[in-house]
Amino acid sequence: MSQNKIETDSESSRKVVFFSTRPYEKNVFTALLCERNKSLPPRIEATFFEHPLNPSTAASCKGFSDVVVFVNDNVNAETIDALKHADVEHIALRCAGFNNVDVNAATRAGISVSRVPAYSPETVAEHTLALILTLNRKTHKAYNRVREGNFNLAGLIGFTLHNKTVGVIGTGRIGKAVIRILLGFGCRVLCFDPIEDVSVKKMGAHYVSLDELFAMSAIVTLHCPLNEHSHHIINESSLAQMPDGVMLINTSRGGLVDNDAIIKGLKSRKIGYLGLDVYERESELFFVDHSQEIIQDDVFQRLTTFPNVLITGHQGFFTEEALEEIANTTIDNILSGSNRL
């Protein structure tokens, strides 16, 4: 377990511990805190841990007022109980989704929870398009072929995105950014969201039922949060409604898709293309170099064997601009109490 510290000389500083910190994030937060700590108190005394927060590491939060976590930290009721015993006051998520936090347990424990609701939704939207375009035009395969002097185009054929029907599930900040880009490509956009947004209609997209969206979309892309209603929204019966060869994209949360159904769909060719930036059991894999290990997750390994599957390791958020916005908002949330859930 490694740890790094930014200390302040002020007595009125907040002691903040960061979990699951990677060097690229630590650099951004450190630079920001050096600047912020030059202004009026309260200042932030930061400790960075590389390991995740979970029930067994929560006891190490004794002496810290704020705990900063990311997408795969396990902030369940047991963790929260340990945080309460450690006198932690506030959990700050440095991400938008909060499905990994038992918010009710935190409320009962008197611990506030904040998140970064919007940090450049275009960042994730652009990654979604990167997956769609790469899967379609196979630039990842062309790159390798050309480097090896192989200019044969067999197997690289794609389809023209213009005029295709795309189904967008979830028309919040990221969904809307995706719709804007897709309309720019000349796609027909169908969408589903329990709360319809008039600005989406004005852009030229059409709200339909989920069944209609599944039946009519050549591409289905997920932009809703993971909750009890959306868990495994893509399953055997929803796949059965989709056209053969559908392209399925998930840059939202792994638990939105039933992986057994997905693998069956890939084997039967119901799914023609699969692009994932998230995976249901990603907490055991993502953000860490496992290249010298034997990966034990057979479902994940099976997914990587299909020629029409492209997986990225939860990097939809990963741009310089987004990291800076995440750091700024997280520090504001700690100092000013904003963005509480």
138 forms beta bridges with none
Query: Binding of ligand NAI at residue 175 (CB under 6 A)?
Result: yes
Measured in Å, how far apart are the chain's first and last C-alpha atoms? 30
Please identify, using beta-carbon distances, which residue of 228 and 289 lies nearer to ligand NAI. Answer: 228
Nearer residue to ligand NAI within complex by CB, 175 or 272: 175
Tokens at 52, concatenated: 């995740």
Name the segment binding ligand NAI (CB under 6 A); options: 38-46, 166-174, 286-294, 297-305.
166-174
Residue type, 230: S
Q: Identify whether 314 is a catalytic site residue.
A: yes
Site string for ligand NAI, 211-240 (x = CB under 6 A): ------------xxx---xx----------
Site for ligand NAI contains 97 (CB under 6 A): yes
DSSP letters for 162-210: TT-EEEEE--SHHHHHHHHHHHHTT-EEEEE-SS--HHHHHHT-EE--H
Establish if 252 lies at the interface with ligand NAI (CB under 6 A): yes
> β-strands 43-49, 3-6: how paired?
antiparallel
Give yes or no for residue 170 binding ligand NAI (CB under 6 A). Answer: yes
Question: What is the helix, strand, coil percentage profile of the chain, to 5?
Answer: 40, 20, 45
Q: Which is nearer to ligand NAI, 269 or 340 (CB)?
A: 340
Each residue 107-136 as x (binds ligand NAI by CB under 6 A) or -, in order, gives -----------x--x--x------------
Phi, psi for 190 (deg, rounded to 5): -105, 145
Assess 313 for contact with ligand NAI (CB under 6 A). Answer: no
CA distance 39 to 87: 27
Q: Which of residues 187-206 bind ligand NAI (CB under 6 A)?
A: 192-195
Contact predicate 148/164, CB 8 Å: no
The whole-angstrom separation of Cα 22 and Cα 47 is: 13
Cα 131 from Cα 181, distance rounded (Å): 13
- Which residue shows structure tokens 């892309």? 221
282 assigned to active site? yes
Among 14, 90, 270, 314, binds ligand NAI (CB under 6 A): 314
Residue 96 within binding range of ligand NAI, rule CB under 6 A: yes
Pick from 75, 168, 174, 311 the residue near ligand NAI by CB under 6 A: 174
Residues near ligand NAI, by CB under 6 A:
96-97, 118, 121, 124, 169-175, 192-195, 223-225, 229-230, 251-253, 277-278, 314, 316-317
